[in-house]
């Protein structure tokens, strides 16, 4: 079974990364989205509806046809252009987009060398003053979390830790800021003091389970 077939097979498992999963990142993400926007790895369309409200034009892509079909059914907006294509070979002209989003995508690439292909393509189609928003789980802490909860992520082929994430982004972009989402205490958010403690720990990305980077050329 090749890479694309594996992704299509994974469509059987719904992948709803609802915005509440990124509650600490949501305001930051929406603040940076503007103009012509490309959403890479739209999955089941969890973020597509929010992104389209902030952008003047939105193209949402995924390599799995099944995901695209789900995203279309979820969003149901003719103004959003959905396409099946590979993030490592984007079919767009250089400097085409003001904003590019790739939430939980890089760890799904089949091999670590594909990170360079992916980021090179993102940089190519991003406008000179554009913004690239990219998130990924912090490998070691995420693995511990999955072990505790018994979660399996069969299409996480190339996860990275904080230092690897920072290194590969700095290799392609001159201005990169990484934010963290501690992630371990979110089930107890109903307690105000827990939220404050969680927010404090989130200020230290290397110890966070979730990572979000804001990158510019």
Boundaries of domain holding 196: 3-216
Least confident among 32-46, 103-117, 145-159, 166-180: 145-159
Cα distance between residue 177 and residue 166, in whole Å: 9
Residue spans of alpha helices (H) in the chain = 3-10, 23-32, 48-54, 65-75, 113-125, 139-149, 162-172, 192-201
CATH code assigned at 46: 3.40.50.150
pLDDT over 60 (residue 18) = no
Query: Is the whole-model pTM more than 0.85?
Result: yes
Split into its structural domains, the chain has a count of 1
Q: Please say if the pLDDT value at position 16 is more than 50.
A: no
- pLDDT exceeds 60 at position 81: yes
**Cα end-to-end distance, the chain, whole Å:** 37
pLDDT of residue 78: 83
> In this predicted structure, which of 19-33, 54-68, 72-86, 160-174 has the lowest mean pLDDT?
19-33
For residues 6-43, one letter each, b for 16 or more C-beta atoms within 10 angstroms of the residue's C-beta and e for the rest, the string is ebbebbeeebebebebbebbeeebbebbeebbbbbbbb
| Choice between 179 and 79, residue whose per-residue pLDDT is larger | 179
pLDDT computed for residue 194 by the predictor: 84
Averaged pLDDT score across all residues of the chain: 90
> Is residue 20 predicted with pLDDT exceeding 60?
no
Is the per-residue pLDDT at 32 higher than 60? Answer: yes
């Amino acid at each position: 079974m090749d890479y694309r077939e594996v992704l299509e097979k994974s469509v059987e498992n719904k992948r709803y990364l609802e915005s509440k999963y990124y509650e600490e990142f949501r305001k930051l993400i929406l603040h940076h989205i503007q103009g012509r926007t490309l959403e890479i790895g739209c999955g089941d369309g969890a973020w597509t509806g929010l992104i389209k409200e902030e952008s003047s034009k939105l193209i949402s892509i995924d390599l799995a046809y099944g995901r695209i079909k789900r995203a279309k059914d979820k969003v149901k907006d003719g103004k959003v252009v959905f396409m099946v294509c590979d993030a490592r070979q984007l079919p767009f002209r250089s400097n085409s987009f003001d904003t590019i989003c790739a939430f939980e995508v890089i760890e799904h690439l089949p091999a670590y060398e594909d990170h360079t292909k992916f980021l090179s393509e993102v940089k190519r189609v991003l406008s000179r003053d554009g913004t690239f928003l990219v998130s990924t789980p912090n490998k070691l802490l995420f693995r511990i979390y999955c072990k505790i909860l018994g979660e399996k992520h069969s299409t996480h082929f190339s996860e990275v830790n904080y230092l690897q994430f920072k290194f590969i982004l700095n290799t392609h972009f001159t201005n990169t800021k990484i934010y963290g989402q501690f992630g371990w205490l979110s089930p107890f958010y109903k307690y105000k003091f827990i939220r404050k403690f969680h927010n404090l720990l989130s200020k230290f990305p290397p110890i966070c389970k979730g990572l979000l980077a804001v990158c510019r050329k």
